[in-house]
Amino acid sequence: MKKYQILSLLLFIGVSVTAQFSQKQIPYAYTALEPFIDGQTMEIHYSKHHAAYVKNLNAAIVGTEAEKMAVKEIFANVSEFSPAIRNNAGGHYNHELFWSILTPEKNTKPSPELEKAINEAFGSMDVLKEKLNAAAATRFGSGWAWLYVDSDKKIAISSTPNQDNPLMNIAESKGTPVLGIDVWEHAYYLKYQNKRTDYLAAIWNIINWNEVSKNYKAAIKGTFED
């Protein structure tokens, strides 16, 4: 009887510490984005870097208020949490968004609503790309460049250091991201080495405008999911 009690206790402990956050499976093969992002980079980026953020986030939130929160709630209160929670929550969320807005599908296009917003804010798609690439290229060190919807329901561009994002209460420019470009070196170094601008030029060939358009519509309505 004692043996079975111990086994039951171990099973209970195992269930009770089940990780709150987990990676979604990327919706394409590692090699599907070639030649713009190589398969080896994608595999390392997803299975090592992103996986580490998830593992470290689940460890960091244990015993804290963040353990009971969705990721956006963590961001809304991130100034109250440790750097480990801030960095790893950001790393997890940012990468989930990043994988979703990339695609091997050719010639996707913004929805009419998003295209109108782009033209009103920037004048044209070419200007949007120029400004977003500039934000990404001039981000010192590691970080992200964002197309996001601000509190006035307008689209805007910003960049953040490390794994921060516009949803965080410490962000200089706040809003809901609809497109994010990773400019950490691990996102591009195997193929592009120190040529970040070449990576930024190439990535527009694999942006999933269908997904970005969905994100924009949800952000405008305030229904963008965690």
Q: Which pLDDT tens digit goes with each residue over 155-198? A: 999 999 999 999 999 999 999 999 999 999 999 999 999 999 99
Q: Name the phi and psi angles at 145, rounded to 5.
A: -115, 140
3-state SS assignment for residue 53: helix
Q: Give the C-alpha separation, 115 to 15, whole Å.
A: 47
Residues 96-126 pLDDT 10s: 999 999 999 999 999 999 999 999 999 999 9
pLDDT band at 19 (very low <50, low <70, confident <90, very high): low
pLDDT band at 222 (very low <50, low <70, confident <90, very high): confident
Cβ distance 139 to 120 under 8 Å?
no
DSSP state of 25: P
**Residue 1 above 70 pLDDT?**
no
Q: Map out the domains of the chain with their CATH numbers.
A: 38-226 (3.55.40.20)
pLDDT band at 11 (very low <50, low <70, confident <90, very high): very low
Cβ count within 10 A of residue 152: 7
Strand order of the β-sheet with 155-161 is 155-161, 143-149, 176-182
Q: What does pTM read for this prediction?
A: 0.89
Q: Which positions ≥6 away from 160 have C-beta within 8 Å?
A: 139, 143, 144, 146, 166, 168, 171
pLDDT band at 220 (very low <50, low <70, confident <90, very high): very high
Instruction: Give alpha helix (H) positions in 106-208.
Output: 112-122, 125-137, 189-192, 196-203
Q: Give the C-alpha separation, 73 to 134, whole Å.
A: 30
